[in-house]
Amino acid sequence: MIGVVLLLGLTAVSLSAVVVVGGEAIDATQDRVTFDGTELAMTELDSRVALVGLGQAESRRVSLPASQRGTTTVDEDAGELRFTVTNRSTGDTVLDRTVTLGTVRYEQDGRSLAYQGGGVWRVSDGGAARMVSPPEFHYRAGGGGQPTLTLPVVTVSGDATGDSFVVTANGSDPLFPRSDDPALGNPLESGRVEVTVRSDYYRAWGSYLETRTSGTVTYDHDARSVTLTLVSPTEPRRLDDAIASESLNVVLGGGATVDSYNSSEAPYAGDDGTCPAGTDATVYVKEDLEVSGGSVVCGDMYVDGDLAVGGGITVRGDLVVNGDLSFGGGSGTVDADAIVVDGGLDLGGGVTLASDTVVVRDSVSEDGGVTVTSNVNVAVGGEYLSGSGDFEGTARVRGDFVPADGQYVGGTVRTAGEYADDGVWPDDDDATIVEGAVPPDLSRLDRARTIGEPNFEPIDNRIASTLDDVENDSDADDHLDDIESGSCWGETCTLSAGRYYLDRVDVGGNVVVNTTDGPVTLAVRNDFDVGSDGIEVVGDNPVEVYVGGDVRVGGGGDLVTASGRGDQVRIYGGSGSTYSVGSGSRVYGVLYAPGNEEITLGSGAELYGAVVGTVSRVSGDAAIHYDYALADQPAIDGDSDQHPHLTYVHVSVNRVEIDDD
């Protein structure tokens, strides 16, 4: 009898366990069925929101599976999309608009589904997100040369919390193009477009953007955001400047010279300390520039930042500064055809200002002993705070002209304010002084405000593809191993026409590149090091060097062309490279490394050609002789942009409201 009772008890326990386990399995199955059913319903919501948001219907109804297992909410503040358009030539922001996307979220047992930005996203209980259906984002590469981005941004608001909704339109706005703003028009010219999505599902957004565009996609994990970059096609890069630097701070050493010659007419004739007629060597600096006294620039100088000069400088052209201009104390002459300063001008003691035209947006401040010669015409948007010394020019001042005690004022002062000589005794008997005059014309300042930035887009993709292409199809030559290992001492190593792949270049001895029978391309995977030895280029055909590492020409080293041409050799570097030209070295050619780490020229070094990149220092007595033959040549053949192209853009904001039915 006891055994029967025990048996019945065990049976009851077993049945209970079966009921519990079976119940849990049934619950899990029901959870999965409910969640999967909701996923299908969310894709239907996606479809109906698109109909309403994009103007194909005024309203639509949609239902999720009725369930006690999950909750549905509308979060109007969740997620945002930022759309920016930048002019690559000027750096100006054409459009910067951020819109809140809003999210319809269904949550169940640690998992969630969300409608956001025209797409449906699924998040597992581990937190990983994946795309269920794509957002409203359409990029067509455009085999006909007209790649197009269409982005009808759908935003949601409302207070729905149940399982049956009404979706209604709530207006729309065009972002790009805009008929009322010519700057926001198609086709896009010299533009950079960035689309940034900040979202809990940013990784899934990024995966989609990578797959859809094969574009440049970057992540900011701290901000939980992803950014896609597209650029419009640009005009071919031109080598119009002797120096085009994007360094944050450039130093031009004392006695440094920038001049020009034209190798298509004659070799460089030498520098006698002046600028021969017809020379035109433009210098462009993206940020701040420091110049030691005695430097000479035979051409225009553009500084898109502040310029600090220690002593004098000669610019045989216009000096245009989009910032403050200051001259340190010492005996030096400031001589340029015209000086345009979209900031303030500070003249240190002992400086002589001899430029014909000077236009300053803010104030002019002088220390003691400054001389302003009689040919100078100054237009000042602020005050003119003069110092002891001689003022013999003409000043037109919007504010007050404040002379110094004992200063000789022998020129003309026309001030819209006052000639503020109270408490001081300047020698101004020979001066013409007019108070309450018409304010000066400052329209020349537009030159400083619209400085056109050269194309500094890195060429990493071009370098990488060239290295791979040449490696897979390199011409053979017995001297390649010697050039890689620096073993050209016993005999001269010669390379003839062809395409050559090298792991590195380490010139030991002498190397001749003979282009008589055709062009030469060198693809150097790592560093290109001339050292203190030499490379000579003979023949008339071009030489292109693509370098995956750094470039170095040691002190006394040479990379020369037999004809003296500065347009024959191009050395291309990537964004992670450094270029170093040592003291006393000579380089004929173009150093082209936009976006790179650093480019420096040592004392007494000479470059015949042009340099583009992060030029940080041109040391004392170094010289850059711009070869004007480069002005008609592209910097690099073909397309070199790192980002996929974009010609047409169509972006709008389309608002919908989702409420309980």
Helix H or strand E encompassing 153: strand 148-157
pLDDT tens per residue, range 188-225 = 877 889 999 999 999 999 999 988 886 689 999 999 99
Separation of alpha carbons 151 and 652, rounded Å: 7
CA 491 remoteness from chain centre: 45
Q: Residue 235's pLDDT band (boundaries 50, 70, 90)?
A: low
- 74-81 mean pLDDT: 95
- What mean pLDDT comes out for the span 633-660? 80
- Residue 141 phi/psi, 5° resolution? -60, -35
How many other CB atoms sit within 10 Å of the CB of residue 544?
20
Q: Residues 334, 312: contact at Cβ < 8 Å?
A: yes
Domain ranges of the chain: 28-234+646-660, 235-295+455-640, 305-449
Q: Where are the alpha helices (DSSP H) in 514-568?
A: none
332, 340, 380: which is closest to 357 by C-alpha? 340
Q: How many CB atoms lie within 10 A of CB 445?
A: 20
Mode of pairing for the β-strands spanning 558-561 and 586-593: parallel
pLDDT tops 90 at residue 645: no
* pLDDT tens, residue by residue, 304-346: 999 999 867 888 889 999 999 998 877 678 888 999 999 999 9
pLDDT-derived band at 19 (thresholds 50, 70, 90) equals: very low
For residues 106-135, average pLDDT: 90
3-state secondary structure 288-322: EEEEECCEEECCCEEECCCEEEECCEEEEEEEEEC
Q: What span, in angstroms and rounded, lies between the C-alpha atoms of 248 and 306? A: 10
Structure tokens at 572: 């291309």
Q: Which two tokens stand for residue 12?
A: 């009851």
> Distance (Å, rounded) from C-alpha 54 to C-alpha 586?
64
| pLDDT of 446 higher than 50 | yes
Task: Write the pLDDT tens digit of every residue in 467-507.
Answer: 999 999 999 999 999 999 999 987 899 999 999 999 999 99
Among 20-24, 270-274, 299-303, 382-386, which stretch is predicted with the lowest mean pLDDT? 20-24
Q: pLDDT for 573-617, tens place per residue? A: 999 999 999 999 999 999 999 989 999 999 999 999 999 999 999
For 62-71, 226-235, 428-437, which range has the lowest pLDDT when averaged over its residues?
62-71
SS3 content of the chain, % helix, strand, coil (to 5): 15, 45, 40
Classify the C-alpha dihedral 149-155-161-162 as positive or negative. Answer: negative
b/e for 421-441, b at 16 or more Cβ within 10 A?
beeeebebeebebeeeeebbe
For 350-403, the pLDDT digits (tens) are 889 999 999 999 999 998 889 999 999 999 999 999 998 999 999 999 999 999
Q: What are the b/e assignments for 506-528, b being 16+ CB within 10 Å?
A: bbbbbbbbbbeeeebbbbbbebb
655 or 641: which carries more pLDDT confidence? 655
pLDDT tens figures, 51-61: 998 988 889 99
Question: CA torsion sign, 408 to 412 to 415 to 418?
Answer: positive
Q: How far apart are CA 534 and CA 586, in angstroms?
A: 9
Strand pairing of 534-538 and 370-372? unpaired
At 522 the pLDDT is 98
Side-chain half-sphere exposure of 15, counting CA atoms within 13 A: 6
Q: Which residues contact 213 (CB under 8 A, 6 or more apart)?
A: 139, 228, 230, 644
pLDDT of 388 reads 87
pLDDT at 167 over 50: yes
